Amino acid sequence: MTDAPITAPEDAVESMKNREHAKPQLPENVRVRFCPSPTGIPHVGMVRTALFNWAEARHTGGTFVFRIEDTDAQRDSEESFNQIIEALDWLGLDWDEGVRVGGPDGPYRQSERGGIYQDVANKLLEAGYAYESFSTPEEIEARNVAAGRPKEFGYDGYDRNLTEEQKAAFRAAGRKPALRIRMPDEDVSFNDLIRGEITFKAGSVPDYVIVRPNGDPLYTLTNPVDDALMRINVVLRGEDLLSSTPRQIVLYRYLMDLGVAQEMPLFGHMPYVMGQGNKKLSKRDPESNLFLHREHGFIKEGLLNYLALLGWSIGPDRDIFSMDEMVKAFDVRDVKANPARFDIDKATAINAEHIRMLEEQDFLNRSIPYLFNEGLVSAAEWDSLADHERGVLTAAAPLVQSRVRLLGEVGGMVGSLLSDADYLPPADDARKQLKGNPGEVLDLAVAALKDVPEDQWLTDTLHETLNKALIEDAGLKPRAAFGPIRVAMSGRRVSPPLFESMEIVGKDISMKRLENLRAHLDEVLS
């Protein structure tokens, strides 16, 4: 299981306010971990957790451990496991110990650590920190109702002091016990790295199960045991896991007494990521799907930059930064506790800035797979393209790179430049550019351009020729003059700069596109 939330009563927490507090001192050798469960497509909340842990490790010169919590056979999948690896590789969030790279505390998949959990559970039972519990959920509910409590109140401690005779009777009846941790009758407090002092009142957290009756260990055991044995000393995770923290702290105390754990880790709970309507962003929301963002054309620099802003900032009025700059500045104690809202428009704008910062050839290399998927080029890699394709894209890059926000938009900008079609049917929104008398405009343009020599079919010449014919001589406004020509050349409302596009496409195809739009004009406008 992953870090799954455990619900506590609303009055369990005495203090959970985000306020100025004395920040705990971080350990000298920070060890953080990222431990997802492979139960679906990687989502932005998962990636932000990985990013903040990675950044803290890199900032402090510490260790980033990556393990997989895959003890839920019904929900876990190898496909999801491979997708998590793919996501981290794509984003460049490398790890020091764990899955695939190894380390001193393996194996790093919980499904391969069953003997470890069984051994620790036996030690907890022998020491009296855990006890056998035979109560079924139905019996617990019935006792709560009989006592005048809500049936959902939770476990009532019934099995804490069963005699050996009572246990034997349950076993004789075919019952198998779960193992529960014996919670102390005292407040549990800790200084959260993000939220300050938090106290869970005595009695607010019931004794909880760590091993099912069938012998399967639960997250409540496996997660803290793995953290202890891997010497994790800073636990950074989502706010939804806050209610499970007193259980982990109590178990850690027991593990320290048993010599399994060396120290109590520091905890930091990152704010919720909210979606539309200020609701918590669900794994099922399209905006949460990491690979969907990649499919649309987010680059890793832009997406990571935006995710870093979901709870943290590098400085006042500064939204754009590199991962190197983030690593230099990041301190988890500067993360805000208030919920952060995922704003796709802002994320897209930040991505656009990072696209503009790419080297031109890097921009082209990253764009090619998108163009190939759209059927616009002959290969998925730059070196495998035809010479003509490379020539067009090299000429188009400076025109397009500053105008796209996502790599998925590149195809719409360069498709008409790569095409040898002599007629591009206008898109619906492009038809709105055909106002006034587009037929007259196209006739004047064809007449003015037909005598331009092939070797003079250049941006400046085209600009001067059409400007004189349509604006100076015909008295047209620029939008009315150049709108129909833009539609003829691209078939789109938004396109690369007009005259540069005409130069790239060449005289022959440019003239045919102008003439053919004129020929189809009545059909287009009907």
| Pairing outcome for strands 188-192 and 178-181 | unpaired
- C-alpha angle 399/400/406, rounded to 5°? 160
353/98 Cα distance (integer angstroms): 34
Question: Helix (H, G, I), strand (E, B), or coil: what is residue 425?
Answer: coil
CA-to-CA separations, 311 to 291, 305, 332, 339, 464, in angstroms, rounded: 22, 12, 10, 7, 52
Whether 208 and 181 have beta carbons less than 8 Å apart is answered as yes
Catalytic-labelled residue, pool 23, 151, 201, 283: 283
- How many of the other CB atoms lie within 10 Å of CB of 63? 20
Burial class (CB in 10 A: 0-12, 13-18, 19+), 104: exposed
Whether 368 and 385 have beta carbons less than 8 Å apart is answered as yes
Q: In the structure encoding, which two tokens stand for residue 401, read together?
A: 């790179």
Residue 283 in marked binding region: yes
Go through 107-144 and write b for each residue having 16 or more CB atoms within 10 A of its CB, e for each that does not.
ebbbeebeebbeebbebbbeeebbbbbbbeeeebbebb
202/217 Cα distance (integer angstroms): 26
- C-alpha angle 256/259/262, rounded to 5°? 60
C-alpha dihedral (113, 116, 121, 123), degrees to nearest 10: 180
Whether 414 and 393 have beta carbons less than 8 Å apart is answered as yes
Tell whether the torsion through CA atoms of 146, 152, 154 and 159 is positive or negative: positive
Tell whether the torsion through CA atoms of 60, 63, 64 and 68 is positive or negative: negative
Whether 274 and 281 have beta carbons less than 8 Å apart is answered as yes
283 is catalytic: yes
Active site residues: 283
Q: Which residues are annotated as a binding site for ATP?
A: 283
